[in-house]
Structure 1
Amino acid sequence: MQPVDEIVAQLGGWATSAQLRQLVTRSALEQAVSRGDVERVTRGVYAVPDLGPERLTALAYDGVASHLSAAHLWGLPLLNPPPEPHVILPPRRHPRSVRPAVLHWAPVTLDERQNRMTSLLRTVVDCTRILPFGEALALADAALRTGNLSRYELKNATIAMHGPGRPTALRVATAATALAESFLESILRGLLICAGFTEFEPQVVVRDAGGFIGRVDLGHRAARLALEAEGYGYHSSAPAFAADCRRYNNLIAAGWLVLRFTYQQITQEPAWVIDRVRTTLALRTASTTLAPLKSLTTTPADRAA
């Protein structure tokens, strides 16, 4: 007989006792549970352990993984993982106390119930209700970057929203872009927007008379000021470090000033980051030595490069 855990995996990772009774004996099921091959999630429901805590908790409540938990299942970045899974239950459901969870009550679609997680669009919209603006923006940017969600869909969904979190959700949908290339870059852009800096564009391509120089995380064209969000693993080899130094030197030679901020600075010292940007931008915009930017403009083809 085929192992019980393989049968449950083929059924989507979980199954009811009624389904399993048609495929395995009671003794085989009990032995699989005692060995830890499958887990009795709640009365009459069994699952393979590697289904993950989000879906296991959703099954235990007979609900749907949602909000930050669904974001994790979709592979979207989070600054801090939720301490407890988020689960949506049908309206007016009075749940049993089974596992620690953050519970929400709302209708779900048939697909969401079958998958035990909310759709990508709904996940992003729900997260914008409860996350700070910068974290919500980073999550929305990442969702757009997958190509499975459009800015048009996101904006329409937030316009149709009601209740708590709608202002933040609308603001996120307006600012979100698939151009952002990293979570940290999006968090930095969120800080800038909250501080009133709206002229920094993501992934600006810089050229000079000699051709392509590089692409900067966030660029202020008029001031020729570039901001870089530096992850720890970027300079993983000597050639990569040398190439990066060459790129920065070429940017300086082309008249651009580059400010580099680390993960810790962006996430733990946002006031200092904004102060450095504000001070530097004031110096750059007050300068009368900046040459015209005709040779540094970009085209749609540049953005696609």
Structure 2
Amino acid sequence: MDELDDLMLLTNVMNLNNGVLRPRHHRGSRTTFDRLVRSGALVRVLPGTYVDATLVTSRRTRFAAALANSPGAVLWGTDAVAALTGSLDERPFRPRERVQLAHPRGHVSTDAISWVRRRVPVEHRVTVDGLRCPSARYLAVESAARDAGALLERFLRSGLVEPSELPEMVPLFAGSAGQDARRRVVRTSVDNPWSGGERLLHALLQRHRVTGWVANAELEIGGCRYFPDVLLEEAGLVVEFDGYEVHSKPEVFESDRRRQNALTLAGYHVLRYTWKQLNDEPMVMISQIRAFLARRSATDSAPT
């Protein structure tokens, strides 16, 4: 094989592996490999692991290099979240930044890699664009021991996790720290809450036996898709929770008004509640919802 053939081979391998090369896998092309290193076209980022110099700040490439250097490992933490959500390229890989990896045996963390000891079952390992990760449902339920369900809510919003998948995940973490918290989060996630406020709203409705509702069910109105926080379809009622941090943003404020107008024009009644009302005046909320349901029931049963 001449040098041109070697160069084409190595280039194709890099293209297939997110810009990563390991010389131990290409001993027959060592002369060409060494020439690329001397020219600066390849950069060593880990022992025995090199990347295309033009991709040295690419998070995808640096994650791929760490995984290539660590068979049996998977991405972990925020790095795994970035891979699963397709947000890898939002910012460059910084000097002295460490890749987060998990491995069954664990390793001593270095300047390049931060290690966590985790045994992720084979059936809950996925590959996203060449990067090994835990499945979204595995990572979200594992994280619930520390984040009160924040990651799980994010994955529910984006459709990466389905509520029906969650209960079967809890036994996988039996005996590990935070298991009681995981059980609580999963138990309150089967109704599909997309935020902590929605989680509290669902619990309030359940506690006061308000039934017949679904959370974040898709409605198509005028060619647009809407996902009401709580929908009581039979009563034609939508209950919305407005968290200040999100709903005070100008773009969300505008979107909320368009959404409410569309729902109203489609025949739905909309009741909106804030975080303060949810926490300070829960019985006012329940009374108003019950009053609406009672009025609708009386109207429906009135003789015509």
**TM-score after normalising by structure 2:** 0.62
1:175–1:52 distance in 2 versus 1, CA, 3 Å? farther
- 1:168 equivalenced with 2:181 (yes/no): yes
Identify the match of residue 296 of structure 2 among 268, 272, 292. Answer: 292
Q: 2:11 and 2:25 mapped to 1: Cα distance?
A: 13
Identify the match of residue 28 of structure 1 among 24, 35, 47. Answer: 35
Q: 1:279 and 1:223 mapped to 2: Cα distance?
A: 21
- Counterpart of 1:18 in structure 2 is 24
How many residue pairs match? The answer is 258
1:116–1:241 distance in 2 versus 1, CA, 3 Å? closer
Given residue 171 of structure 1, which amino acid in structure 2 is its aligned partner? R
Q: 2:268 and 2:165 mapped to 1: Cα distance?
A: 39
* Structure 1: stretches of 5+ with no match in the other structure: 207-213, 262-269, 297-305
| Residue pair 1:41, 1:60 contacting (<8 A) in 2 also | no
- 1:120 equivalenced with 2:120 (yes/no): no
1:234–1:282 distance in 2 versus 1, CA, 3 Å? closer
Given residue 29 of structure 1, which amino acid in structure 2 is its aligned partner? L
Given residue 179 of structure 2, which amino acid in structure 1 is its aligned partner? R
| Residue pair 2:17, 2:64 contacting (<8 A) in 1 also | no
- 1:44 Cα shift? 0.8
Q: 2:75 and 2:231 mapped to 1: Cα distance?
A: 38
- Counterpart of 2:94 in structure 1 is none
Larger radius of gyration: 2
Identify the match of residue 239 of structure 2 among 210, 215, 226. Answer: 226
Higher relative contact order (CA 8 A, sep 6+): 1
- Per-residue Cα deviation, 1:48-74 (whole angstroms, up to 9, x for no partner): 533255444555666321233212211
SS at match of 2:201: helix
Q: 2:179 and 2:12 mapped to 1: Cα distance?
A: 44
- Counterpart of 2:279 in structure 1 is 275
| Residue pair 2:163, 2:192 contacting (<8 A) in 1 also | no
Q: 2:81 and 2:284 mapped to 1: Cα distance?
A: 36
- Per-residue Cα deviation, 1:178-213 (whole angstroms, up to 9, x for no partner): 966xxxx434313435x744357413689xxxxxxx
Given residue 292 of structure 1, which amino acid in structure 2 is its aligned partner? R
1:116–1:286 distance in 2 versus 1, CA, 3 Å? closer
| Residue pair 1:65, 1:118 contacting (<8 A) in 2 also | yes
- Counterpart of 2:170 in structure 1 is 158
Q: 2:251 and 2:285 mapped to 1: Cα distance?
A: 28
- 1:136 equivalenced with 2:140 (yes/no): no
Structure 1 residues 145-224: aligned runs within 5 Å: 145-146=159-160, 151-162=163-174, 163-176=176-189, 185-193=194-202, 196-198=204-206, 199=210, 201-203=214-216, 216-219=228-231, 224=237
- 1:42 Cα shift? 1.2
Q: 1:26 and 1:288 mapped to 2: Cα distance?
A: 74
SS at match of 1:103: strand
1:286–1:141 distance in 2 versus 1, CA, 3 Å? closer
- Counterpart of 1:67 in structure 2 is 77
Given residue 173 of structure 1, which amino acid in structure 2 is its aligned partner? V
| Residue pair 1:128, 1:168 contacting (<8 A) in 2 also | yes
1:22–1:241 distance in 2 versus 1, CA, 3 Å? same
Q: 2:197 and 2:292 mapped to 1: Cα distance?
A: 28
Q: 1:215 and 1:107 mapped to 2: Cα distance?
A: 33
- 1:158 Cα shift? 1.1
| Residue pair 2:66, 2:99 contacting (<8 A) in 1 also | yes
- Per-residue Cα deviation, 1:198-239 (whole angstroms, up to 9, x for no partner): 357413689xxxxxxx86222468895611554754577xxx
Q: 1:278 and 1:150 mapped to 2: Cα distance?
A: 28
